[in-house]
């Protein structure tokens, strides 16, 4: 295992605190965004962007992906790519599941209709 020098540790310490401040600010921004008088699509897009930024900050600096070998980044990116693929595969069925569940319940029996 590589031993870290005092300079490296001090630099990492500053970086950790900077990331912490950014994560806190971005969380506060998210809380502000949901109260903005704009369309739901715009709010959703901004929230996804903010959440993606926060997740990337954690992965890059707290999980040290920014200094790891590139292969580890590929391992980390694989589920993200597959999840995006899954979302695209689900697109044709969006709404259909809900409609099927909503209309699947059988009509009430004749005797029950009077109650």
Partner 1 sequence: MSQAVVAEHEFGLEPAESPLTPESWGKLGMWIFLAADAMSFGGLLAGYGALRYGDPTWPRPSEILGIQLTAFMTFLLICSSVTMVEALAAIRAGDQAGLRKFLTLTIFGGLTFLSLQSYEWTKLIVHEGQSVSKNNFGATFFILTGFHGCHVFGGVTYLSAVLGRAVRGVSGAIIVAVTAVVGAIGMLWITSHMFNAFVGIGAALVVAGIVYAVTNALAAPGREVYDAHDNSEVEIAALYWHFVDLIWILVFTFVYLI
Summarize as ranges the residues that interact with partner 1 (CB under 8 A): 1-4, 6, 9, 12-13, 16-17, 20, 23-24, 27, 30-31, 33-34, 43-44, 47-48, 50-51, 54-55, 58-59, 62-63, 68-69, 71-72, 75-76, 78-80, 82-83, 86-87, 90, 93-95, 97-99, 101-102
SS3 content of the chain, % helix, strand, coil (to 5): 75, 0, 25
101: left (phi over 0), alpha (psi -120 to 50) or beta: alpha
**Residue whose CB is less far from partner 1, 38 or 90:** 90
């Amino acid at each position: 295992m590589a031993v870290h020098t005092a300079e490296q540790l001090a630099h990492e310490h500053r970086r950790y605190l900077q990331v912490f401040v950014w994560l806190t600010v971005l969380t506060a921004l998210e809380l502000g965004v949901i109260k903005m008088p704009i369309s739901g699509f715009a709010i959703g897009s901004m929230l996804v962007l903010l959440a993606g930024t926060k997740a990337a900050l954690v992965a890059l600096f707290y999980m040290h992906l920014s200094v790891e070998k590139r292969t580890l980044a590929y391992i980390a990116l694989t589920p993200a790519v597959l999840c995006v693929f899954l979302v695209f595969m689900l697109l044709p069925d969006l709404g259909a599941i809900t409609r099927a569940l909503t209309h699947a319940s059988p009509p009430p029996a004749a005797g029950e209709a009077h109650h």
